[in-house]
Amino acid sequence: MFYSLPISPIVDREQYLVSLCAEKDVVHLGAAQANDSNDLETYGTTIDPTTFLHSRISAVARHCIGIDYNKKSIDLLRSVYGINDIYLGNIEDKGPRRIVYPESIYTSMRKSRFESN
């Protein structure tokens, strides 16, 4: 037996994500988009502030913060590109979880364990 599937348009994954974030409060997990190698020389050459996903989301979202566990990448984004809304944190830690409501997200995140020093 054969089934026919509807034809769906091919969409750009990142553009689709950006459109979903428009006018919303967003917590972008894995925002630094780095890998575990900490090869900052290579990582730095891959970043274009106009196409960097976190920058694109921040441009359309009502509020946006990022969380990533790679401190070196976060430091590079802050110092070279001026991207200051990505905080250090590992969402896979087994510690206690908290629910943060969108209207208080900035205050709560600055007081939480995700704030980098």
Q: Does residue 10 carry a pLDDT above 60?
A: yes
8 A C-beta contact, residue 32 and residue 70: yes
**Structural domain contains residue 6:** no
The reported pLDDT for the residue numbered 95 is 67
**Structural domain contains residue 3:** no
**Structural domain contains residue 117:** no
Name the band, by pLDDT with cuts 50, 70 and 90, for residue 113: very low
**Structural domain contains residue 76:** yes
**Structural domain contains residue 75:** yes
pLDDT in tens, 79-100: 988 999 998 888 777 766 554 4
pTM of the entire structure? 0.71
Q: Look up the domain containing 39 and give its range.
A: 13-111
Percent of the chain topping pLDDT 90 = 34
The number of domains in the chain is: 1
pLDDT in tens, 34-43: 877 677 888 8
Four-point Cα dihedral 93, 17, 79, 98, nearest 10: -30
Q: Does residue 64 carry a pLDDT above 70?
A: yes
